[in-house]
């Protein structure tokens, strides 16, 4: 919609400029009426829900309002036309095009889109909280503050039953709402989903009091450089992996333990709707790695979904060969792996994905599926929310249809948790989608 509106306005501006130059007149009165009409038409599109109002339309709304006010002022006060000058027409057209392009940019980068389908029968409610961990100090600052974790819940609304708890961890530079369509689909089928921001690992996070924290530059640099040749040794990469996993699993443990405590002591209907004896964890990228790690550590975690992540917790660094090897211990928690092309093509290499190899006998009971044509971010909502950003971050457009990818992924995750946590049906996924 943003691209279409910009195109229409640019065509008008250019056509009007050509008309003025052809007639050697400014036609200011006509242009003022058009400015007012354009703003009224834009408001009508908003009121009729043709345009879904969100933050991306704010700048354009302000610009069109200012243009309309200026036009109406000129019409009311009957300001005389200035003497026609071709150079003036050209420069005003260029400036107007530039202003409109900037105003439309947010709507182009973050276009409106239809939400993936929700197939469950429960209405879904949300709630946000900030949990403060009195047992941990924040390592990213020197203020002596305790570590905090912001969480958001998606859960069935207005019911008197209890539902399994699912805990989600986002990827590096991600945010807790990265897979909102997944949480909504799961909650609509009778799950309480809690997604957490890992402060200083997430792109940004906002506490319930409005305080904002952005990604730590040091962490961002570590992640970026760990994917480049010659920056870190394998031993240094292994040390970074352990540090990242400890922070994330500590956050997830803290959230689960906090929720477990609140189900016993807090009368909030949300906590009373949680069946704390049925817990699943899942995550994307680094969050998937943390989920696999947590699933191997906690006995109360009964199912794990790993979305496009290496098994960091299953790596061992061997100094004598200066390389990684896979741990030789069975992973017994039910596990579903969902891989894009970006990860799938690395599974046969001796890299940080060595433990993920399909022939790893210690994961013989794990389910593994490949989304052919998908890129790393195809398994999040970002290609829907901002196709331009997704393509930039993942190095191009994915071949797979973005709605097919996320809706099929959501269906697989739902069926897996239904089978493992609720004992519903059978889970027999295809190897390739």
- What gap in Å lies between CA 265 and CA 390, rounded to an integer? 42
Homologous superfamily, domain 124-422: Alpha/Beta hydrolase fold, catalytic domain (3.40.50.1820)
Measured distance CA(195)–CA(257) in Å, rounded: 14
Q: How far apart are CA 367 and CA 304, in angstroms?
A: 10
Which residue is it, tokens 């399909």?
358
Q: What does R_g of the chain's alpha carbons equal in angstroms? A: 26
* Pair of tokens at residue 135: 């047992």
Of 238, 129, 244, 124, nearest to 184 (Cα)? Answer: 124
Per-residue tokens: 236: 């240094």
pLDDT by residue for the chain (433 residues), tens digit each? Answer: 778 888 888 898 899 889 888 898 888 888 889 889 999 998 998 898 888 888 889 999 999 999 999 888 888 877 666 677 888 889 989 999 999 999 999 999 999 889 999 999 999 999 999 999 999 999 999 888 999 999 999 999 987 899 999 999 999 999 999 999 999 999 999 999 999 999 999 999 999 999 999 999 999 999 999 988 889 999 999 999 999 999 999 999 999 999 999 999 999 999 999 999 999 999 999 999 999 999 999 999 999 999 999 999 999 999 999 999 999 999 999 999 999 999 999 998 778 999 999 889 999 999 999 999 999 999 999 999 999 999 999 999 999 999 999 999 999 999 999 999 999 989 999 999 9
Q: Which of 176, 47, 80, 290 is nearest to 39 (CA)?
A: 47
Question: How far is the C-alpha of 216 from the C-alpha of 412, rounded, in Å?
Answer: 34
324: β partners: 317
- Answer positive or negative: Cα dihedral of 383, 384, 385, 386: positive
First to last CA, the chain: 31
Q: Per-domain residue ranges for the chain? A: 2-109, 124-422
């Amino acid at each position: 919609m943003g691209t279409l509106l910009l195109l229409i306005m640019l065509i008008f501006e250019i056509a009007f400029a050509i008309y003025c130059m052809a007639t050697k007149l400014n036609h200011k009165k006509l242009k003022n009426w058009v400015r007012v009409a354009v703003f009224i038409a834009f408001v009508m599109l908003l009121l009729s829900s043709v345009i879904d109002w969100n933050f991306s339309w704010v700048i354009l709304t302000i610009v069109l309002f200012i243009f309309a006010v200026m036009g109406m002022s000129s019409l009311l006060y009957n300001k005389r036309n200035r003497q026609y000058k071709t150079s003036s027409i050209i420069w005003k057209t260029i400036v107007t095009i530039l202003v409109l392009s900037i105003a439309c940019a947010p709507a182009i980068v973050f276009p409106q889109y239809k939400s993936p389908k929700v197939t469950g029968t429960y209405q879904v409610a949300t709630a946000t909280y900030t949990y403060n961990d009195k047992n941990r100090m924040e390592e990213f600052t020197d203020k002596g503050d305790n570590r905090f974790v912001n969480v958001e819940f998606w859960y069935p609304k207005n019911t008197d039953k209890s539902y399994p708890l699912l805990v989600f961890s986002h990827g590096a530079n991600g945010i807790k709402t990265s897979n909102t369509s997944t949480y909504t689909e799961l909650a609509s089928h009778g799950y309480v989903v809690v997604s957490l921001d890992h402060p200083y690992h997430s792109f940004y996070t906002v506490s319930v009091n409005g305080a904002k924290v952005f990604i730590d530059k040091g962490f961002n640099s570590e992640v970026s450089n760990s994917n480049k040749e010659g920056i870190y040794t394998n031993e240094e990469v292994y040390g970074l992996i352990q540090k990242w996993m400890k922070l994330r699993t500590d956050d997830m443990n803290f959230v689960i333990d906090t929720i477990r405590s609140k189900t016993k002591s807090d009368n909030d209907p949300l906590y009373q709707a949680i069946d704390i004896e049925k817990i699943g964890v899942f995550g994307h990228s680094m969050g998937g790695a943390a989920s696999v790690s947590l699933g191997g550590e906690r006995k109360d975690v009964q199912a794990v979904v790993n979305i496009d992540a290496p098994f960091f917790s299953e790596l061992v660094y061997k100094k004598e060969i200066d390389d990684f090897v896979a741990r030789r211990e069975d992973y017994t928690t039910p596990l579903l792996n969902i891989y894009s092309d970006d990860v799938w093509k690395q599974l046969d290499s001796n890299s940080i994905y060595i433990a993920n190899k399909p022939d790893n006998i210690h994961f013989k009971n794990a389910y593994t599926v490949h989304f052919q044509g998908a890129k790393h971010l195809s398994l999040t909502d970002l290609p829907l929310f901002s196709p331009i950003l997704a393509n930039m971050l993942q190095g191009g457009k994915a071949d797979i249809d973005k709605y097919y990818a996320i809706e099929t992924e959501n269906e697989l995750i739902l069926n897996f948790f239904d089978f493992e946590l609720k004992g519903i049906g059978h889970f027999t996924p295809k190897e390739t989608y």
